[in-house]
A = this chain, B = another copy of it.
């Protein structure tokens, strides 16, 4: 039993699949690829039981083969080869010989039945119906770029460890939050024939961010799974089986005081103030008066402090409000492409809404920051 494949084509294929291989896992079998040769097509699978990736390649093969091979070793070997033909030959004792014009390599394989089952949306028996939507890859990646950072890392509330995909009549809404900050974006040009909420886990979002390109992505959704079909690769992930928190209830509507600032100026200032904020609280203080913002921080541990004035437009009441500077920095980093932003404020204890001044045609974007207490 044998098959042949070009080294550079295989390298490209493996590099797309390897992101699904877990780096540390109590199940060593997951550190392998499943190789399936069927009717002249090589399909490679990898999974960490949450997400799975698969991709195929036409090759020269006489027979059908299904084996499990060590993912990182094979990936490293193939990457280190020149452009050449690789000849895979099954040998005795569960060995596979890999022969090129440079040399001969032997690795151990396992039987295919030791590999966990790869879920497929089509085979999801809990699925009454499958919803479908098509999104441009770059557009989806840009959306993830803006919102992925705010997903929670705490396992207490599993739904918040994912990104909410909410299909509505107005478009696709993406929401992420960890309770300290929240991103809420509405992509008005992405319309689906259904209204439904899905929570996609963090790892699927992070792997997708690496492999999305300018091609369209065909998305199939069931109650339990979502599949993202790219040009030449498919990612399938379990959905988080928990209701997403009622994000709308935490977004304040009556924040009447608006402060307009230049994004880069306030961000540069925050980055400096982070150097002076106590490492345990990371607290910075915003002191806001008519057309005047002063940002200050103090690190009592090392006896250092800083204060800066930032140009702003503000007509509201005088206000002193505290934030975790790392969270402000995160929000500003992800609004970095905006020229000016608006802080919508109400009081030192009320969530603050941050929005770009320049509205985009197909995008409503808002971020929310919870304040921290100043008098502790």
A303 within 8 A of B: yes
Check A73–B107 contact: CB distance below 8 A. Answer: no
One of B80, B105, B303, B308 near A268 (C-beta < 8 A)? B80
Check B102–A308 contact: CB distance below 8 A. Answer: yes
Q: A73-B302, A268-B80 given as contacts; is B275 within 8 A of A103 (CB)?
A: no
A244 within 8 A of B: no
Chain B CB count within 10 A is highest, among A102, A103, A106, for A103
One of B102, B108, B306 near A106 (C-beta < 8 A)? B306
Q: Residues of B contacting A309 with CB < 8 Å?
A: 102-103
A95 within 8 A of B: yes
**A8 nearest CB across to chain B (Å):** 15
Check B303–A103 contact: CB distance below 8 A. Answer: no
One of B77, B82, B302 near A70 (C-beta < 8 A)? B302
Q: What is the oligomeric copy number?
A: 2
A131 within 8 A of B: no
Check B307–A107 contact: CB distance below 8 A. Answer: no
A241 within 8 A of B: no
Q: Residues of B contacting A305 with CB < 8 Å?
A: 105-106
| Residue on B nearest A272 in the bound complex, by CB | B80
Q: Residues of B contacting A76 with CB < 8 Å?
A: 275
Q: Residues of B contacting A303 with CB < 8 Å?
A: 95, 107-108
- Interface size bucket, A side? 20 to 34
Q: Residues of B contacting A108 with CB < 8 Å?
A: 302-304
Chain B CB count within 10 A is highest, among A70, A276, A302, for A276
Q: Residues of B contacting A73 with CB < 8 Å?
A: 275, 302, 304
Check B304–A104 contact: CB distance below 8 A. Answer: no
A125 within 8 A of B: no
Check B269–A103 contact: CB distance below 8 A. Answer: yes
How many Å lie between the Cα of A263 and that of B305 in the bound state?
A: 56
Q: Residues of B contacting A80 with CB < 8 Å?
A: 268, 271-272, 275
- 0/1 interface trace, chain A 248-260, chain B, CB 8 Å (1 if under): 0000000000000
Which 4 residue pairs are nearest across A and B when measured between Cβ atoms? A103-B308, A108-B303, A105-B306, A107-B304
14 CB-based A-B contacts, threshold 8 Å = A73-B275, A80-B271, A80-B272, A95-B303, A102-B272, A103-B306, A103-B307, A104-B308, A105-B272, A106-B305, A106-B306, A107-B304, A108-B303, A108-B304
Q: Which of A's residues lie within 8 Å of B, judged by CB? A: 70, 73, 76-77, 80-82, 95, 102-108, 268-269, 271-272, 275-276, 302-309
